[in-house]
């Protein structure tokens, strides 16, 4: 099949897997795609398994304002042809947390330049760049990929600011990454507690709670 035939075939499979209840629920929560079939992620993985990874196909899927197309794009994009500037374009195009989370899980965490790109993104200031940076860092920490001292200090400085972000999504991603960082070992736990000391001094009870969670995790 050529590209257009493949895209048509994929959309047919989206329709076959459509979940109207899920689609309606997402629309009611503000997920305003041109099309949203409500197909569940396990079914999308099954659909993706029927195709070879292909750069042109993934790029064409990503350009569609269709929830399932964007998720499938993250599953079918080859790593070796996904250059840093394309990664930036994809993040600029993100509007919903689900797409950011699945793209980081399926693709971004495996990029050879991921460990460098995350620091550019968390310092960027834009919501989805920061969120993706922290989502990738959480994945890297789970895989026990250490940071050098300079990167570690930069991370701890930035994450302190971003657990206090105005964006709930950035706050959640930053805090998740911090917990994964702490779970690497006692040394990381001590460093995190020291870096997060300002939270303990804050008048905001929520920030006190975050500090207590970090303390509990570091002592576990």
Q: Give percent above pLDDT 70 in the chain.
A: 100
Gap between the Cα atoms of 61 and 167, Å rounded? 28
CA nearest 42: which of 5, 75, 84, 77?
A: 75
Those residues with Cβ within 8 angstroms of residue 174's Cβ, 6 or more apart along the chain or in another chain: 130, 134, 159, 162, 163, 165
How sure is the predictor about 24, in pLDDT bands with cuts at 50, 70 and 90? confident
Mean residue pLDDT of the chain comes to 94
Those residues with Cβ within 8 angstroms of residue 193's Cβ, 6 or more apart along the chain or in another chain: 214, 215, 218
Gap between the Cα atoms of 142 and 163, Å rounded? 19
User: Does the CA dihedral 93-173-117-115 come out positive or negative?
Assistant: negative
CATH fold, domain 96-220, is: 1.25.10
87 has a pLDDT exceeding 90: yes
**Residue 116: helix, strand or coil by DSSP?**
helix
pLDDT at 30 (0 to 100): 81
DSSP string, 122-159: HTT-SHHHHHHHHHHHHHHHHTT-PPPHHHHHHHHHHH
29: left (phi over 0), alpha (psi -120 to 50) or beta: alpha
146 has a pLDDT exceeding 80: yes
Domain regions of the chain by residue span: 1-78, 96-220
Counting every residue written for the chain, the total comes to 220
**pTM for this entry:** 0.93
């Amino acid at each position: 099949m050529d590209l257009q035939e493949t895209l048509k075939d994929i959309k047919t499979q989206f329709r076959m897997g459509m979940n109207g209840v899920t689609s309606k629920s997402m629309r009611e929560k503000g997920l305003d795609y041109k099309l949203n079939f409500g197909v569940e992620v396990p079914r999308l993985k099954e659909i993706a398994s029927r195709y070879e990874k292909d750069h042109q196909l993934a790029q064409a899927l990503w350009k569609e304002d269709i929830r399932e197309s964007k998720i499938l794009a993250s599953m079918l994009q080859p790593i070796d042809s996904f250059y840093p500037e394309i990664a930036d374009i994809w993040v600029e195009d993100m509007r919903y947390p689900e797409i950011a989370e699945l793209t980081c899980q399926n693709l971004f965490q495996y990029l050879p330049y991921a460990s460098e790109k995350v620091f550019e993104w968390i310092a960027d200031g834009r919501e989805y760049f920061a969120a993706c940076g922290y989502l990738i860092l959480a994945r890297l920490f789970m895989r026990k990929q250490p940071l050098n001292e300079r990167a570690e200090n930069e991370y701890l400085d930035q994450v302190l600011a971003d657990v206090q972000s105005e964006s709930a999504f950035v706050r959640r991603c930053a805090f998740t990454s911090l917990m994964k960082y702490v779970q690497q070992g006692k040394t990381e736990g001590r460093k995190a507690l020291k870096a997060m000391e300002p939270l303990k001094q804050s008048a905001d009870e929520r920030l006190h709670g975050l500090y207590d969670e970090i303390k509990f995790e570091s002592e576990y």
